[in-house]
Amino acid sequence: MGDDPASRVYVNNKKKACEYCGILSEEYALPYETTQEEVIDLIKTLNSRSDISGILCQLPVPKHIDEEAIINAIAPNKDVDAFHPVNVGKIMVGNYDFVPCTPAGVMELIKESGIDVSGKECVVVGRSNIVGKPQAMLLLHKNGTVTICHSRTKDLSKKTKNADILVAAVGIPNFIKGDMIKEGAVVIDVGINRMEDGTLCGDVEFDTAKDVAGAITPVPGGVGPMTIAMLMKNTVKAASVNKTK
């Protein structure tokens, strides 16, 4: 909805990924003034279509739209972003079909890098419903000892320097400095921030962190492409789940 330039980039990337994977994608580019009722009516139509396996609403939405109402309108079995309360609850108990794409991408990076989470001190900086909270749950399900840090955390650097695995998802450019990182730690930078000169950077100050970390993800790259890959994975899973219903 609307003409957010970042959203346009993300949607185009998702469409390209669908085409690459052989997944049919349909885009509904709605004008800014679209009403909430019109959006929900469209979602209900898509919920009822047997040829549609997954539905997502590109966030953020215009201010006159209730984001929560839109997310709740998507059928849980077609919620490939895994934002619906039903899917959030399933993640909490560890019996889930879909995982939010960014935390899922982080876990895939950890797995493919041969890093064992079990018994590790894991620190997640950020507590959003989209990344921070589900990320903490996924690390916990892999037997990590998890600490969630946020804007009210006291002595943050003491917490981050204790982390064997550090996930930065705070949305502040270059927030995590090299002196806040434990020697040899795995550092995963979820942030993507556009600077005044047009360049992109993460939540981790890469130049000071790379010499301390044992492994670190870059921005751009790193987690970003994995997020889209996990969306494709969720969509394929949704096709399978819905076929059996």
Active site residues: 14, 58, 81
Looking at residue 221, the DSSP 8-state letter turns out to be S
Q: Which of 224, 232, 243, 227 is nearest to 23 (CA)?
A: 232
Amino acid at 223: V
Looking at residue 79, the DSSP 8-state letter turns out to be B
Distance (Å, whole) CA 68 – CA 60: 11
Distance (Å, whole) CA 123 – CA 162: 8
Question: What is the number of residues in the chain?
Answer: 245
Q: Quote the distance between the C-alpha of residue 114 and its chain's center.
A: 21
Q: Quote the distance between the C-alpha of residue 97 and its chain's center.
A: 16
Report H helices in the chain.
Answer: 5-21, 36-48, 67-73, 85-93, 101-112, 132-141, 156-160, 206-209, 223-243
Report CA torsion sign: 118, 99, 51, 242: positive
